[in-house]
Structure 1
């Protein structure tokens, strides 16, 4: 219980520090929301002062950050300076696409990564080598290269999947999101496969596993109840960590496949918007 509370506290502190750093980076970045709004037009100092006062941009950095953080903790994400709309109304319609894409990719990572890792850890040497080569390639391929190759081969070349859009309805949406999810999951699958291989192989060499085999237990029982059960601890930890990398990867994947997800709102960062 204390360990869980400690981990939760650490996570909250990490999120707080990350929000402070990101807010600060946007604050000191070149340009400003006011400059973006005026778009180079000649504006009187009085008008600029009114705009800064209206959006609280005339306050100090600490006060701006505190006001933003307090509003977020109360569920208020603020209003977009650029679009003049609540941030929640801009994000909410796009969240579903991003969430489904991330979950789809995560399922691919878990299934393919664990299966490949288990095969490499339990089967013969040639399977181990094949999986090792495959995971090395998967870790080396940049996500945008994977997206281009998948589009060129399976969408444009073979015509098996759509080239862009998120689709409507569950079957159509899954079909539209298959290539983006695969591109998003390639590196994560390779990483999970490597961790699974090491975990399964190390567990398979433990004394209690040898004892189970000596007792005459069926091999499938030994593998499922003794090897996999004990190897799941590091595997579960790694698969959970991949969620963060998937969220980051959507910034590249969603524009590449023309998906109307939350990555489409990254353009607000280009204008230095702090909301």
Structure 2
């Protein structure tokens, strides 16, 4: 199968999933307790009969559910998610303002993760059964199991309160100051990611190292650098790339607790505030955006895997 056909199939599947997700997200408004028109107006205190009638007409709330969804979907495709109940500003403007901080936090934590996790996983896989391997394995278990909010509190207390190396809260102003403010939150978010990727890298390295072609290369006295760099590392990279892409995608969702702990004005904080205020249009938009980002990363990973692994192309084409 050609890569164009593969991408086309994945795109069709992605669109289908997004339609299902968008319908479920749309149903948030109808599932919320109370009259949707009253909710959109911000509560009973603002829900005069005239205002309720106007909102019901604007959002087609008297139409069947599928018709309401169709009108809503048309607006979404035009990037019109309505107005925030709390601020009365367009939802897209609120997301545009908050998204850069969340994206910067996710990317920063991912860079920290890759720099630390892959070398640790490779070293543990190469030196299987050694003290280093046991240490990496135990550390990965602890990092994976540790709650993000508990890590945030611990790191804030140690490195911000006790040592004063980092600020306790805020996102900073300017590029350098923002990097400085995001360092501790990024480390907090990266700890669990490091555990996942280090374990995957270790497992992939050990799996490839036991393959027949690696054993044959050793028997032929191929230099160790060639064996590990040319054979093991290259073939172990595929599963690591897969898990790394997923980790980056889910870093956006994992940023919710971290942003709350460090008082960062990102999408996570906006989502929590919107849930508390029952700001349905904002909740719908952030949920749909998150689903789109995760599915997009999955598509990129699938295409990269298909392009890099000839065995998959032969298998699909068979």
Same fold (TM over 0.5): yes
Matched, 1:146 2:151: yes
Within a 5 Å distance, the mapping from 1:13-24 to structure 2 comes to 13-24=16-27
Q: Which sits farther off after the overlay, 226-235 or 41-50?
A: 41-50
Which whole-Å CA distance do the structure 1 matches of 2:267 and 2:54 have between them? Answer: 31
How many Å separate the matches in 2 of 1:56 and 1:82? 21
Q: Deviations over 1:163-204 (max 9, x none)?
A: 111112222211111111111122221111111111000111
Of 230-239 and 6-15, deviating more is 6-15
Change (3 A) 1:39 1:68: closer
Q: Which residue of 2 aligns with 1:252?
A: 257
SS in structure 2 of the partner of residue 159 of structure 1 = coil
Distance 1:14 1:38, change over 3 A: closer
The CA distance in 2 between the partners of 1:43 and 1:249, in whole Å, is 36
**Further displaced range: 35-44 or 184-193:** 35-44
Is the 1:120–1:128 contact (alpha carbons within 8 Å) kept by the matching residues of 2? Answer: yes
Structure 1 residue runs of 4+, over 6 Å off? none
Counterpart in the other structure of 1:103: 107
Classify the secondary structure of the residue corresponding to 1:274: helix
**Contact 1:23-1:274 at 8 Å conserved across structures:** no
Structure-2 change in CA distance of 1:64 and 1:129 (3 Å): same
Alignment counterpart, residue 268 of structure 1, candidates 256, 263, 274: 274
Counterpart position of 1:10: 13
Instruction: Extract unaligned runs of 5+ from structure 1.
Output: none
CA distance in structure 2 between the partners assigned to 1:43 and 1:163 by the alignment: 41
Structure 2: tracts of 5 or more residues without a match: 283-318
Q: CA deviation at 1:77?
A: 3.2
1:59-98 correspondence to structure 2 within 5 Å: 59-98=63-102
> Aligned runs of 1:1-275 on 2, under 5 Å?
1=3, 2-31=5-34, 32=36, 34-35=38-39, 37=41, 39-41=43-45, 44-125=48-129, 126-266=131-271, 267-269=273-275, 270-274=277-281
TM-aligned CA deviation for residue 44 of structure 1: 4.7
TM-score, normalised to structure 1, is 0.91
Deviations 1:71-93 (A, max 9, x none): 22233333334322222211112
Relative to the length of structure 2, the TM-score reads 0.79
Deviation string, structure 1 residues 130-166 (Cα, Å, up to 9, x no partner): 1111011011111111111111111111111111111
Aligned residues: 275
The alignment partner of 2:171 has SS state of coil
